[in-house]
Amino acid sequence: MAAVSDRLPAFPWDKLEPYKKTAAAHPDGIVDLSVGTPVDPVPQLIQRALIEAADSPGYPTVWGTVALRDAITGWVRGRLGASAAEHRNVLPVVGSKELVAWLPTQLGLGAGTGTLKDKVAYPRLAYPTYEVGARLCGAEAVVYDDPMDLDPAGVKLLWLNSPSNPTGKVLAKEDLVRIVAWAREHGILLFSDECYLELGWEAEPVSVLHDEVCGGSYEGIVAVHSLSKRSNLAGYRAAFIAGDADVLGELLEIRKHGGMMTPAPVQAATVAALGDDRHVEEQRERYAARRTALRAALEAHGFRVEHSEASLYLWVTRDEPCWETVAHLADLGILVAPGDFYGEAGARFVRVAFTATDERVEAAVKRLG
């Protein structure tokens, strides 16, 4: 059996520990802006739904309750503009990271046949788990700036990520239209990670499932969505995928064999979350205020912000190696993520999350001033 270190890259966050200790030594404590984990309370209506479903002694189903599938399809139609979505077009998953990491394996990808390896393609600047998923199944990980510049030979799975983690970049509707058409032309399965779609600030993110993008057909395309950020449910592991019914049907069968079931109370909580828009707007307002304050402070401190028109991050640079920036901010008691965690192209950037509390954001603003 191959060692984990031979199969997977080093876990990047371990490299940040010395800088975390430096930041934690600040007299007023650390301001941790390195990870986009929610800190605000889970909305009460979601907590109530979870509690009311707590007496769930039996096994839940992998496909979820009828109420859950109704909630997901209703949200996909109304929020994503996917007017033809039905129950067969949706599937709950146990958090989106699990899905991203294990999707290539569940799709049966691997080393390929002969000299042509199976390839998993993803953006040059990207969430590291896309690469992990490819490596776990033995496929070749390939990066792109524009997916249509890829050699399609051997590409079995194409990841899009809009809004992007880490950059916050949003793909325009016309770009999505051409990418979907290109992927279909070459028989490439397209998965679009849209977990930050509700968090557009200077652009309005659009789903690949929107009628005007996919033409009302979900053939060859699947969207990935999470309630972690929009509803503060990272601890619930509430997520789902939507799109091509044949692909989802295959994944459903595999996930049944693997026992990949969303817990029944979490299913009930998801129904409540998807049925309420008010808490999403309230959370957006919190994030918008934090984003505005941090952006102004960073720019006044000499940073340049690039992209960042959506998501929970500011992608910033002082035109120096990212680890120098990490060290500089750690000395101020502020911890951020180095850009090279997300690919070599990020080597002169850092990612700044605005998921800290109002009090900690205020502290960061003062220190930057």
CATH 3.90.1150.10 location in the chain: 4-41+279-368
**Is the CB of residue 304 less than 8 Å from the CB of residue 339?**
no
35 neighbors 271 (Cβ within 8 angstroms): no
The CATH class of the 44-275 domain is alpha beta
Would you place residue 111 in the very low, low, confident or very high pLDDT band (cuts 50, 70, 90)?
Answer: confident
Compute the distance between CA of residue 236 and CA of residue 47 in angstroms, rounded to an integer. Answer: 10
Element housing 313 (H / E): strand 313-317
Q: Residue 118 has what pLDDT?
A: 94
Task: Read off the pLDDT band of 218 (50, 70, 90).
Answer: very high
Query: Which spans in 215-352 are helix H?
Result: 245-258, 264-274, 278-300, 322-331
Buried residues in 15-47 as b, exposed as e (16+ CB within 10 A): ebeebbebbeebeeebbbbbebebeeebbeebe
pLDDT band at 1 (very low <50, low <70, confident <90, very high): low
Looking at the structure, give the CATH architecture of the domain made up of residues 4-41+279-368: Alpha-Beta Complex (3.90)
Tell me the pLDDT tens digit for each residue of 17-69.
999 999 999 999 999 999 989 999 999 999 999 999 999 999 999 999 999 99
Q: Which residue has the higher pLDDT, 5 or 190?
A: 190
State the DSSP code for 139: P
Residues of the chain with CATH 3.40.640.10: 44-275
Radius of gyration of the chain (CA): 21
106 CB neighbour count, 10 Å cutoff: 17
Instruction: Identify the DSSP state of 240.
Output: E
How far apart are the C-alpha atoms of 345 and 219, rounded to whole Å? 33
